[in-house]
């Protein structure tokens, strides 16, 4: 099992080892199942297995339970007897308690090292999704990013973007001729969404020092892969921020890591918990981006595993990229549930020993229906697998234990203090101050000028031009005679309604006479 991550035992008596081949671990996977069926423990034992194989891991701790990876299990735990009995049943002879090297991270900087990125690195597509902008508002956001590049305005934190939007609003007339309509209403809507993001605590995500991906891909002195745990219990109150951050992290890995082909084991494994939050109400452009990343990132040695309650939460095009599958129990209480259960069963390679749909419905807690990629990447036959017990602590560690781990971490002090260097906010503020000083200086020089005429001309207080005269053809008319006056009256009357009737009557009589 050195070339595999041991999952548990399958077969008639659960004595046949079931594992995830490290060679195919970068071909992504799915962990699904109803609430309370054991998905979190499965995630925990997978993280242990990858770490033991020297593969770094990134995962989010939605409930706080996964912090137990940092501490070994105990003989005094209430489930110690059940764990050892299960290990004997599945033939896990090497079972014992041990911890994993863990690094804690937190967007809010409370339960882990702060995690930051810059507005420029986030990009307009993900930022528009985070702010839930309309198409017109997203267009203005794209204009802002273009102007930031052209004007040399670094976008590092939210105040940089807010200041740039104010500048765009002040110069919207000129910018509209070049980029299309720039409305103040759309700019105001973006500013309001940025305010909401600040109120949710999202302002701490943007800034420097930005997270270096190399700090997520480390191994300890013994060669074990680092387990990077993102504290997400508080972050889940802002699901858009949670899903957008994880998608940004995945996109950064895709953009920065070099191609490695098909390595013997992954360089990194990324677990995306509560995956449905990524796809709920997501625009097609974003889903296409996720599909592209899922297709291509495996050649960079990164495996992506989605964790969700139902496989139907993942779009079909992306679901087709997930070769390694662990399906815990699905409950069928409604017609829609039964349909989803049937569709989930149809995606597995059938086992003649049992119906797949029935197995998915009947497996108990700590048991799953599994199908792993085998030689040449062929999906394995579906198997009922009794998941192995965890070696690390089941459940969270204390706050004191977490604080001690943070203090002893290699990352301690690297990201704690924010850095506020010169960026768009400071540059635009300096421009405004310079323009105000120049205007004040110019006005003072004009007021101090010794020549009153020049001073009044600069202040636009005197106009010395002559009035343009009327056309000579009109002024040369003689209107003082009685004949000319009567002619004007007659002509005016003929132009009116009565005159037109007289003319029509005369002409009509003439033509009828002929």
Residue 32 has pLDDT above 60, yes or no: yes
CB 189 within 8 A of CB 141: no
pLDDT tier for residue 479 given thresholds of 50, 70 and 90 = very low
Query: Cα(63)–Cα(58) distance, rounded to whole angstroms?
Result: 16
Query: Cα(187)–Cα(141) distance, rounded to whole angstroms?
Result: 9
Which of 97-106, 329-338, 419-428, 430-439 is most confident? 97-106
Residue 25: name the closest of 320, 304, 379 by CA: 304
pLDDT tier for residue 510 given thresholds of 50, 70 and 90 = very low
Residue 21: name the closest of 379, 385, 372, 388 by CA: 372
For residue 211, the Cα-to-chain-centroid distance in whole angstroms is 16
Q: What is the average pLDDT value for the chain, to the nearest integer?
A: 86
pLDDT tier for residue 490 given thresholds of 50, 70 and 90 = low
| Buried-state track 79-109, b at ≥16 Cβ within 10 A, e below 16 | eeeebeebbeebbbeebebebbbbbbbbbeb
Q: Please give the average per-residue pLDDT across 385-393, as a whole number.
A: 95
Q: Please give the average per-residue pLDDT across 293-318, as a whole number.
A: 90
Query: Cα(107)–Cα(212) distance, rounded to whole angstroms?
Result: 14
Q: Is the pLDDT higher at 494 or at 48?
A: 48
∠ Cα 389 391 394 (to 5°): 75
Residue 191: name the closest of 162, 217, 212 by CA: 162
Q: Please give the average per-residue pLDDT across 178-200, as a whole number.
A: 91
Query: Cα(228)–Cα(208) distance, rounded to whole angstroms?
Result: 20
pLDDT tier for residue 373 given thresholds of 50, 70 and 90 = very high
Classified as helix, coil or strand, 494 is helix
Query: Cα(246)–Cα(300) distance, rounded to whole angstroms?
Result: 18
Residue 367 has pLDDT above 90, yes or no: yes
Percent of the chain past pLDDT 70, that is, above it, reads 87
Q: Please give the average per-residue pLDDT across 247-252, as a whole number.
A: 89
Per DSSP, 278 falls in state H
Q: Please give the average per-residue pLDDT across 245-274, as a whole number.
A: 90
Res 285: pLDDT: 74
Residue 94 has pLDDT above 80, yes or no: yes
Helix axis angle, 172-179 relative to 158-170, nearest 10°?
90
Query: Cα(414)–Cα(417) distance, rounded to whole angstroms?
Result: 8
- What tens digit of pLDDT does each residue of 111-136 get? 999 999 999 999 998 899 889 899 99
Pairing of strands 268-273, 57-61: parallel
Res 460: pLDDT: 56
Query: Cα(512)–Cα(514) distance, rounded to whole angstroms?
Result: 5
Q: Please give the average per-residue pLDDT across 54-75, as a whole number.
A: 93
- What tens digit of pLDDT does each residue of 193-226 get? 999 998 888 888 899 999 999 999 999 999 999 9
∠ Cα 94 97 99 (to 5°): 120
Least confident range from 44-53, 77-86, 120-129, 458-467: namely 458-467
Q: Is the pLDDT higher at 443 or at 507?
A: 443
CB 377 within 8 A of CB 27: yes
Res 238: pLDDT: 85
80's CB contacts (< 8 A; 6+ apart) are: 73, 74
Res 450: pLDDT: 64
Query: Cα(19)–Cα(41) distance, rounded to whole angstroms?
Result: 16
Residue 463 has pLDDT above 80, yes or no: no
Cis peptide before 199 (omega within 30 of 0): no
Residue 502 has pLDDT above 60, yes or no: no
- By CB atoms closer than 10 A (0-12, 13-18, 19+), residue 414 is middle
- By CB atoms closer than 10 A (0-12, 13-18, 19+), residue 257 is middle
Query: Cα(263)–Cα(266) distance, rounded to whole angstroms?
Result: 6
Residue 233 has pLDDT above 80, yes or no: yes
Q: Is the pLDDT higher at 253 or at 513?
A: 253
Which of 158-167, 414-423, 437-446, 457-466 is most confident? 158-167
Query: Cα(70)–Cα(104) distance, rounded to whole angstroms?
Result: 10
Q: Is the pLDDT higher at 469 or at 96?
A: 96
């Amino acid at each position: 099992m050195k070339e595999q991550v041991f999952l548990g035992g399958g077969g008639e008596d659960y004595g046949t080892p079931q594992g995830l081949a490290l060679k195919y671990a970068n071909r992504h996977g799915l962990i699904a199942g109803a609430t309370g069926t054991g998905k979190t423990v499965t995630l925990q034992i997978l993280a242990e297995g990858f770490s033991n194989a020297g593969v770094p891991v990134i995962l989010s701790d939605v409930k706080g339970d996964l912090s137990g990876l940092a501490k070994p299990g105990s003989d005094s735990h209430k489930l110690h007897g059940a764990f050892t009995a299960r290990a004997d049943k599945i033939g896990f002879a090497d079972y014992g308690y041990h911890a994993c090297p863990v690094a804690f991270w937190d967007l809010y900087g409370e339960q882990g090292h702060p995690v930051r990125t810059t507005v420029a690195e986030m990009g307009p597509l993900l930022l528009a999704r985070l702010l839930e902008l309309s198409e017109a508002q997203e267009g203005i956001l794209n204009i802002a990013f273009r102007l930031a590049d052209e004007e040399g305005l670094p976008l590092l934190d939210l105040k940089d973007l807010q200041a740039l939007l104010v500048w765009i609003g002040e110069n919207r007339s000129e910018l509209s001729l070049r980029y299309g309509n720039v409305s103040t209403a759309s700019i105001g809507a973006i500013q309001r969404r940025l305010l909401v993001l600040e109120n949710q605590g999202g302002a701490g995500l943007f800034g420097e020092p930005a997270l270096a991906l190399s700090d997520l891909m480390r191994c300890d002195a013994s060669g074990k892969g680092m387990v990077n745990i993102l504290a997400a219990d508080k972050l889940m109150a802002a699901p858009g921020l949670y899903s957008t951050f994880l998608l940004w992290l995945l996109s950064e890995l895709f953009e920065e890591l070099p191609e490695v082909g098909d390595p013997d084991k992954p360089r990194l494994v990324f677990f995306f918990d509560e995956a449905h939050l990524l796809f709920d109400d997501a625009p097609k452009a974003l889903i296409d981006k996720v599909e592209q990343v899922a297709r291509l990132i495996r050649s960079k040695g990164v495996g992506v595993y989605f964790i969700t309650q139902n496989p139907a939460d993942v779009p079909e095009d992306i679901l087709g990229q997930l070769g390694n599958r662990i399906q815990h129990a699905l409950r069928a209480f409604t017609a829609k549930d039964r349909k989803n259960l049937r569709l989930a069963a149809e995606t597995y390679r059938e086992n003649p020993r049992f119906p797949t749909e029935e197995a998915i419905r009947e497996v108990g807690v700590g048991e799953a229906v599994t199908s792993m990629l085998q030689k040449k990447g062929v999906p394995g036959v579906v198997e009922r697998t009794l998941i192995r017990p965890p070696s690390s602590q089941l459940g969270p560690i204390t706050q004191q234990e977490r604080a001690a781990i943070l203090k002893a971490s290699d990352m301690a002090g690297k990201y704690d203090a924010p850095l506020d260097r010169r960026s768009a906010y400071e540059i635009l503020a300096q421009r405004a101050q310079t323009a105000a000083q120049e205007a004040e200086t110019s006005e003072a020089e004009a007021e101090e000028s010794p020549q009153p005429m020049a001073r009044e001309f600069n202040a636009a207080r005197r106009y010395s031009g002559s009035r343009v005269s009327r056309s000579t053809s009109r002024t040369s008319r003689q209107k003082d005679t009685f004949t000319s006056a009567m002619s004007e009256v007659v002509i005016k009357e003929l132009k009116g309604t009565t005159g037109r009737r007289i003319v029509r009557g005369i002409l009509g009589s003439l033509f009828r006479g002929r």
